[in-house]
């Protein structure tokens, strides 16, 4: 019995718990961790309260607060504006979107990181995907250029937009005089 008592005395005696102390090396004590977390939360709230106290706010602080509130509505309204422009002038919108298709993937990632950090999110990127996306983006350049050329050919003010491309029937139809009431009225007024 003396040996067992000594072992238990070493492990649990002397106002210490060797098992608990050993386990706390590998795993945080939940109660102590909760106390630390509560203290951090209390300090953060105290700091936020001090930053937004009404007594210290001057015109510059109010201006900066207003400026900091602009990005979210600007992004939302800008996106709605894109939808509206796509409905009002699809050719203009298509040309801009073809240009956006040429933006390299790293710039999209940079924009994503900036927006993510601004709105408090984390952004993580893998190196292999990075290389694959750059190659994929660069492979789209000829198709995008062809799309822009096709879109510009659809404009009413484009050069050769009324070209008949050698079609004799269309050429004759385009030069054959037709009934034009406005031209007839003008001729009557001019004579």
d(CA 83, CA 81): 5
The token pair that represents 43 in the structure block: 């300090």
CA distances from 161 to 3, 28, 90, 156 (A): 104, 75, 18, 7
Q: What percent of the chain has pLDDT over 90?
A: 6
Q: What would the mean pLDDT of 135-162 be, rounded to a whole number?
A: 77
pLDDT value for 161: 67
Q: At what angle do helices 141-153 and 90-101 cross, to 10 degrees?
A: 170
pLDDT tens profile 178-191: 778 888 888 888 87
Q: Given pLDDT bands bounded at 50, 70 and 90, which one contains residue 34?
A: confident
- Whether 26 shows a pLDDT value over 60: the answer reads yes
Longest Cα separation, the chain: 135
Q: Which residues contact 174 (CB under 8 A, 6 or more apart)?
A: 162, 164
- Let me know the angle formed at the C-alpha of 47 by 43 and 53, rounded to the nearest 5 degrees: 140
Q: What is the pTM of this model?
A: 0.34
pLDDT value for 123: 44
pLDDT tens profile 71-122: 878 888 998 999 999 999 989 988 888 888 888 888 988 988 887 777 665 4
């Amino acid at each position: 019995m003396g040996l067992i008592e000594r072992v238990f005395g070493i492990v649990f005696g002397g106002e210490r718990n060797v098992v608990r102390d050993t386990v706390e090396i590998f795993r945080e004590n939940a109660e102590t961790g909760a106390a630390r977390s509560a203290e951090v939360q209390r300090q953060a709230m105290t700091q936020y309260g001090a930053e937004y106290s009404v007594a210290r706010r001057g015109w510059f602080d109010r201006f900066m607060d207003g400026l900091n509130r602009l990005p979210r509505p600007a992004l939302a309204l800008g996106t709605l504006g894109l939808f509206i422009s796509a409905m009002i002038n699809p050719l203009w919108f298509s040309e801009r979107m073809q240009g956006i298709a040429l933006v390299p993937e790293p710039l999209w990632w940079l924009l994503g990181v900036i927006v993510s950090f601004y709105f408090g999110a984390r952004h993580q990127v893998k190196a292999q995907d990075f290389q694959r996306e750059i190659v994929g983006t660069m492979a789209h350049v000829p198709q995008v250029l062809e799309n822009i050329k096709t879109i510009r050919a659809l404009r009413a003010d484009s050069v050769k937009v009324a070209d008949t491309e050698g079609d004799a029937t269309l050429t004759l139809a385009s030069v054959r005089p037709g009934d034009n009431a406005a031209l007839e009225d003008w001729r009557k007024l001019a004579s």
